[in-house]
Amino acid sequence: MKKLPLHKYHADSGARFIDVRGWHIPADYGDVMQETETIHNTVALLDRSYLGKVLLKGPDAQDLLNRISTNDMMQLVMGIMCDTVFCTPKGRIVDYCRVLQYDDQLMLVSSYIDSANIIDWINRFIILEDIEVKDASADYLWLTVMGPEARPFVQSLSGTPVVAEDETIWIQYETIQFAALLNRNFIVPAYNFALPKTPGMEVFKWLTASLKQFDGMLIGDRAYQVLRVESGMPDWGTELTQDYNPHEARLLHAVSFTKGCYTGQEVIARLDTYDKVQKYLMIIDLEEEIFDAPPFKIFYDDEEIGLLTSYAFNPATQRSVGLAYIRKHFAVAEFNITIQVLVAGKFIPGRMRIPPVHDMG
């Protein structure tokens, strides 16, 4: 079982651990309710260094990414990050990644715990290109601060004014300079930090200590999963699989419809042009708590209309919420109906809504 680079620090901070896809990660630090409330009231710090990280180096790196993923990598000339989706030739999701301009190379941060999947996919397309692909998962930390006080928190670290639209905020800690990278995937403000492991450990301790003046705290995976589901954020292995495409997963912010050809482009463009999308990701508010693990079939008037793929229970609000792929005809904001989720032979009522992050555009 793999452990995070900061495993001992988390253990000393009172973390209770769970095993997730071969990793031993913090589930919580003793009070999931308080952690969930902190996300919505102040600012929380999450260590997701288990996510796969890949470094691409060489004169052909940017061009290759442009040809095999959905977004326009030329925008990295103007900034240091963008999101993109790797798709099969049929437009199905292989991975959803954040791309960072990191020194003289590009860093991909995968949605999956293991980088082997995306490395194998990229290597399929390398023939004569001058590019080096390296698994950097163990070499870098990937941290997230989130909550209504996330921007003031980042501003206090940087010592410079920060406005909501700032995508990159540079921070100096002793001799270490690093960037806070805006993350728009959640219903609360959020920023990511990518840090080399060794100096990153000292930065992490500084970040943790700095949380105190904002009444912030460390959070684990249980509180994060509540936020993810409530935000309508898809995850690898549940919503991000080759069963779905970027239209269905509501990832069009990571798709360019104006750049040249890329793997899966023809199918993705045709789905858009001819309005052929079959289903959409929706949030399901359930009337009861669920104790089994998804997936679960969803029905309306005895007709199967979708599949619930993720579930979380918010201990602070006592609400049960899930993510589901729902047939297009039913996946509209105006369609205020009660659906039924089939769990272990029992139907649990629920209502659908469009994920708020996407509803806001």
Structure tokens given for 268: 């993705």
For residue 230, the 8-state DSSP code is H
Topology of domain 53-135 in CATH is Alpha-Beta Plaits (3.30.70)
Query: pLDDT band at residue 36, thresholds of 50, 70 and 90?
Result: very high
Q: What is the pLDDT of residues 245-254, one digit of tens each?
A: 999 999 999 9
Classify 278-361 by CATH class: mainly beta
Phi, psi for 357 (deg, rounded to 5): -60, -40
Q: Is the pLDDT of residue 358 over 60?
A: no
Rounded Cα gap, residues 327 and 306, in angstroms: 6
Query: pLDDT band at residue 335, thresholds of 50, 70 and 90?
Result: confident
Q: Where are the domains of the chain?
A: 2-51+139-230, 53-135, 278-361
Specify the pLDDT at position 357.
67
Rounded Cα gap, residues 191 and 163, in angstroms: 13
Sheet holding 2-3, edge to edge: 2-3, 23-28, 16-20
Instruction: Select from 188, 194, 217, 220 the least CA-distant residue to 312.
Output: 220
Question: Which residue's structure tokens are 């959070």?
Answer: 219
Specify the pLDDT at position 77.
76
pTM of the model: 0.95
Specify the pLDDT at position 337.
87
Pick the CATH number of 2-51+139-230 from 3.10.20.90, 3.30.1360.120, 3.20.20.80, 3.40.50.720: 3.30.1360.120
> How do strand 190-196 and strand 2-3 relate by DSSP bridges?
unpaired
> Do residues 117 and 42 lie in contact, with contact meaning Cβ atoms separated by under 8 Å?
no
For residue 115, the 8-state DSSP code is S
